[in-house]
Chains A and B, each alone.
Chain A
Amino acid sequence: QVQLQESGPGLVKPSQTLSLTCTVSGDSITFGSYYWSWLRQPAGKAMEWIGHIYSGGSTSFNPSLGSRVTISRDTSQNHFSLKLTSVTAADTAVYFCARVFGAVTYRLDVWGRGTLVTVSS
């Protein structure tokens, strides 16, 4: 059974960098044709796709976040990470990691439970 678990600080100061890790169990992030993605959901708003890292290592990001986003991975730990720089209050949200099945259908078939990140001084 594949499981994903987000971890990282729940409070980040404005202008600093938000860093989260998604630890995967039950599957290898380098195996198969999966994408490993990050999403977020501000309170009362729609889910927003942040980006993903492919099992082969390539990445893709939402242009709305510009150059602030980095997604990387540690294959020895079987986890992937999100870094979002220069955060503001608008980046306050529940952050989710998820596995994506299918480049065409892009269905998020396994999700983490999410972690709340608040940007505040």
Chain B
Amino acid sequence: DIQMTQSPSSLSASIGDRVTITCRASKNIRTFLNWYQQRPGTAPKPLIHSASNLQSGVPSRFSGGGSGTDFTLTISSLQPEDFATYFCQQSFSSPYSFGQGTKVEIK
């Protein structure tokens, strides 16, 4: 099975900050990597698919990159509604696995 490791597990940032979250796969998954946002008590929201493709309706301040084993999610200018938990998911092979999440908190 493919293991997904995210870092950091949490971070504190201010409105307007640039934030980068990293996701590492235990084997080469090419660009089969999706990102999600999860706010407490609400349904997870898809942000990016196939490593770098923005889901329809997602603000352009979100971007994804990487291939192989190392991937990033970047928020170029943090907004109040971005304080949430973000997690990655590999879609290269079943069983589909997830990172443990990165909680973005207000500094």
Contacts and interface: CB of A to CB of B under 8 A. Distances in A.
Interface of A: 4, 45-49, 60, 62-64, 96, 98, 102, 104-114
A106 B89 CA distance: 9
Nearest to B41: A113
Contact of B55 (A47, A60, A64, A109): A109
A45, A106, A113, A114: most-surrounded residue (chain B CB, <10 A)? A106
A108 B96 CA distance: 11
Contact of A46 (B4, B41, B43): B4
Interface in B16-69: 32, 34, 36, 41-46, 49-50, 55
Nearest to A111: B43
A36 to B, nearest CB: 14
Given A46-B4, A46-B101, A60 B44 contact: no
Interface of B: 1, 4, 32, 34, 36, 41-46, 49-50, 55, 87, 89, 91, 94-101
Contacts of A111: 43-45
B89 A108 contact: yes
What secondary structure prevails in chain B residues at the interface with A? loop
A49 B96 CA distance: 6
Contacts of A98: 44
Contact of B43 (A64, A106, A107, A113): A113
A97 B32 CA distance: 21
B43 A105 contact: no
11 contacts: A45-B100, A47-B87, A48-B98, A62-B95, A63-B95, A105-B34, A106-B32, A108-B36, A108-B46, A109-B55, A110-B43
Given A108-B34, A112-B43, A113-B41, A64 B96 contact: no
A46 B88 CA distance: 10
B98 A47 contact: yes
A96 B98 CA distance: 14
Contact of A105 (B50, B95, B97): B50
Given A46-B101, A60-B94, A105-B50, 9 more contacts: A47-B101, A63-B95, A96-B44, A106-B32, A107-B55, A108-B36, A109-B55, A111-B43, A111-B45
